Structure 1
């Protein structure tokens, strides 16, 4: 059955990029379609039987966040879904500053005023969404990759993404489950390991040799083996796991890669993403954590 995907959410969160990516994957797309034309567009004479993606937000004529979920689910002959795009207020303000565009709900006021109004306006729509995708940390290429994983093929299995990240640079916003690796000694403070990452064997071996690593990984694997099939059975299509350390370059990377291998051995097909792997080593980010962890961790 063809899919009908409503792409909505916060203005500036990447709707145009999402629609362009879906069009490249063969979807029929239209942006800012008046709500009253949705049925006619989906079932227009001669239209192909491709999946359909419709972009609607505060700029769309007749936009009613309260009524939209029922409208989308009233279209016959398709499998309806809602994708809500979000980003932090600071990131949305930055994007509006770069493009020099005015926010649709704050034509004569600062962008942050419009962002606040829009977040309140679309709160019910966010709750009704089948998937919420926070694009704050995504580069356009990363966002396209994520969309290909989610919407490129009709799948019959859970779409599982494992992300490594650094708490010092902000918690992962795309994760359903977050695991903190900061209980392990920090390889950043070992001179020969500092320039390496958790993808390098010396760091991976160092982390794996620490007390508590094996038990943590085994217990986490067993918990995920229990949870993931139940998420799928409950109708959850996408699950994000995130492993965090201080800077996002050593412990979290090693854990994400190792857990990916463990879950593949159990029959899952996780995608691995390292949010902060390309960052340069930064003592200033690590020092605050060293004070918390104590000298035995440094």
Structure 2
């Protein structure tokens, strides 16, 4: 008889591009546990989070579907991170050396106990040299019923120190601070940089397709997304982290959660039709000296 530890191991998919560039996927909930570039980890995973099919994982990259936030019919943030996904192709290498895997999930008794619709989800994860691409196809396989849904890709990004993080690209986007009492009107971003110096749970709407997250003075994570208009930025801060059981008190310093998706308006999908969404994470190492020199030169442009 298979014990719990062996069962968990059989639910792990490992993508290896060579040169210590890897991606590890837990099929229960299809959570990306690790993404390493030359053995440098890019994804935050709490050191005290259980790796179990009976608990949510604190960290990684998670797919939230078909509902975001609290839900009258099921668990918080839907059931996509509850169910066991199946590998339908791969892992396979492409001619350029990239590696991908296709995983799938579809409606069954458990999902219909909360949400009585027929669906199929196909999720492709592709590991590049310095990029990770996630593509999801959501199919309505019902003969009779249309339905609507939320879909969010929640990425917990590993950083050196939360004080050094800058997010660029959300200027002029409307936002609300979710856990701060406010009226129903949306506020406006007043700066082209979002700095995180305390607890933040901020929802931006109608965001651009490209967002830059500066995770250190010499490192940039470029996020390029398609059909994912909303972005939520979350970090518990020093006070709230003490109330969370599956994260150590100091770990708030080492991650920022960037949630990209269809979070605040549900999208309708007709019978026998589908919806495609994708996100690409690209890690760029910055040459600080060249950046400083270029800015200095540009300052005198037109004078000499």
| TM-score of Structure 1 vs Structure 2, range by shorter chain | under 0.3
Q: Select the structure of larger CA radius of gyration.
A: 1
Higher helix share: 1
Q: TM-score, normalised by structure 1?
A: 0.24
Q: Which has the higher contact order (CA 8 A, sep 6+)?
A: 1
